[in-house]
């Protein structure tokens, strides 16, 4: 069922069921952080390995102290600047937080989503919500209630309707080493924005895909079922596959002489925010066309272009 009834959603959550949760980035698969049953259902439904921890969604920045401790000042400053919003902070966890949520790590991931429905829900609940993105492990994240329904059907009895996600790509994840912020995952909040707030360049986490600090950094992730190639020379790549049914994904209104089955343009005016917000919906759409191959054009390597390239690269592995 897709519903916009907050009271009904609360009844499901109070009874330890999990639900589809709209946020400004992507839809989540959410459960009460204090219910082991709900947390287990999240991992089972998503087929997510237990080593991959979940993000805790709280109603405001004061609520982080219910799950985290020894919070660096810089974390509060970032929270003040960017919450509610598409930034997740990795903080030292409080001992009461369920080990399944944090995958046994000493840290917990938290964020305040910038979505009216999600905030209204968090306001009427007596607990925060643990929620990963609402997609089977490794596949494209959902940016509408319909995408979530297509993935899970009746196995997920309730999805809270929150419209199309306005941002469309997951949150940016920031951790701390000796109180210095470090980027764990590129996301909707561009590094340029965070760096101009902090006045320093951010370091990126160097953890390899084999022992990922944030499995959103696994080299293969965010993938459609159709093979995807990422290229900076569109025509030459299309030319290589004359007998294939090809879908092309471009930033702006590219023209090319060669034939392809379908062509999706992410932003007519080459606006990076708009392109990011439509990326996953476009991949879902192309994936439904029974193509042999998706060829995606590389984005400019700045601001959200960097995040979009990161996702396309992982989708192409």
List Cα–Cα distances, 145 to 86, 153, 166, 182, 249, in angstroms.
19, 11, 13, 32, 23
Task: Give the binding range for ligand TXA (CB under 6 A) out of 167-175, 236-244, 255-263, 281-289.
Answer: 167-175
Q: Report the residue from 128, 142, 216, 224 that binds ligand TXA according to the rule CB under 6 A.
A: 216
* Residue 222: strand, helix, or coil: coil
Cβ distance 145 to 159 under 8 Å?
yes
C-beta of 266: minimal distance to ligand TXA in Å? 19
**Closer to ligand TXA by Cβ: residue 33 or 248:** 33
Binding residues for Mg ion, total number by CB under 5 A: 1
Measured distance CA(221)–CA(228) in Å, rounded: 12
Contact in structure between 251 and 275 (CB atoms under 8 Å): yes
Q: How far is the CB of 289 from ligand TXA (least distance, A)?
A: 25
133 binds Mg ion (CB under 5 A): yes
Look up residue 286 and give its two tokens: 């192309």
Beta carbon of residue 21, minimum distance to ligand TXA (angstroms, whole number): 7
Nearer to ligand TXA, 35 or 46 (CB): 46
Percent helix, strand and coil across the chain, each rounded to 5? Answer: 35, 20, 45
Pair of tokens at residue 301? 């390597």
* Closest of 147, 167, 142, 109 to residue 304, by C-alpha: 167
- Tell me how far CA of residue 56 lies from CA of 100, 122, 275, in angstroms: 12, 11, 27
The site that binds ligand TXA (CB under 6 A) totals a number of residues, namely 29
13 or 214: whose CB is closer to Mg ion? 214
Which residues ranging from 56 to 115 are in contact with ligand TXA (CB under 6 A)? 86, 88, 90, 102, 105, 107-109, 113
Q: Which of the stretches 42-50, 122-130, 133-141, 264-272 binds Mg ion when contact is defined by CB under 5 A?
A: 133-141
x/- binding map, residues 116-145, to ligand TXA, per CB under 6 A?
Answer: ---------------xxx------------
Q: Find tokens 């009427």 and name the residue.
A: 124
Binding flag, residue 171, ligand TXA (CB under 6 A): yes
Stretch that binds Mg ion, among 48-56, 125-133, 248-256, 274-282 (CB under 5 A): 125-133
Q: Which of 3, 52, 231, 285 binds ligand TXA (CB under 6 A)?
A: 52
Buried b (16+ CB within 10 A) or exposed e, 33-57: bebeebbbbbbebbebeeebbbbbb
Name the residues that contact Mg ion, by CB under 5 A: 133
Name the residues that contact ligand TXA, by CB under 6 A: 23, 25-26, 28, 52-55, 86, 88, 90, 102, 105, 107-109, 113, 131-133, 170-171, 173, 184-185, 213-216
């Amino acid at each position: 069922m897709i519903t916009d009834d907050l009271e009904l959603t609360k009844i499901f959550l109070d009874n330890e069921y999990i639900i589809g949760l709209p946020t400004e980035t992507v839809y989540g698969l959410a459960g009460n952080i204090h219910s082991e049953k709900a947390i287990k259902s999240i991992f089972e439904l998503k087929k997510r390995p237990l080593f991959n921890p979940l993000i805790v969604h709280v109603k405001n920045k004061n609520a982080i102290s219910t799950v985290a401790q020894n919070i660096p000042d810089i974390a509060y400053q970032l929270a003040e600047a960017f919450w509610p919003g598409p930034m997740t902070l990795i903080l030292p966890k409080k001992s009461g937080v369920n080990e399944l949520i944090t995958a046994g790590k000493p840290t917990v991931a938290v964020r305040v989503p910038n979505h009216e429905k999600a905030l209204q829900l968090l306001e009427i609940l007596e607990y925060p919500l643990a929620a990963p993105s609402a997609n089977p492990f490794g596949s494209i994240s959902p940016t509408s209630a319909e995408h979530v329904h297509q993935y899970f059907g009746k196995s997920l009895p309730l999805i809270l309707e929150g419209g199309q996600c306005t941002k469309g790509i997951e949150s940016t994840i920031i951790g701390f080493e000796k109180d210095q912020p470090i980027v764990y995952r590129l996301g909707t909040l561009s590094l340029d924005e965070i760096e101009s707030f902090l006045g320093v360049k951010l370091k990126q986490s160097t953890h390899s895909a084999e022992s990922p600090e944030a499995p959103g950094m696994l080299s293969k992730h965010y993938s459609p079922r159709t093979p995807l190639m990422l290229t900076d020379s569109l025509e030459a790549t299309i030319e290589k596959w004359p007998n294939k049914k090809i879908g092309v994904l471009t930033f702006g209104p590219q023209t090319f002489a060669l034939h392809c089955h379908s062509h999706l343009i992410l932003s007519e005016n080459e606006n990076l925010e708009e392109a990011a917000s439509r990326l996953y919906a476009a991949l879902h759409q192309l994936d439904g066309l029974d193509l042999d191959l998706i060829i995606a054009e590389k984005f400019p390597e700045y601001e959200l272009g960097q995040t979009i390239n990161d996702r396309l690269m992982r989708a192409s592995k």
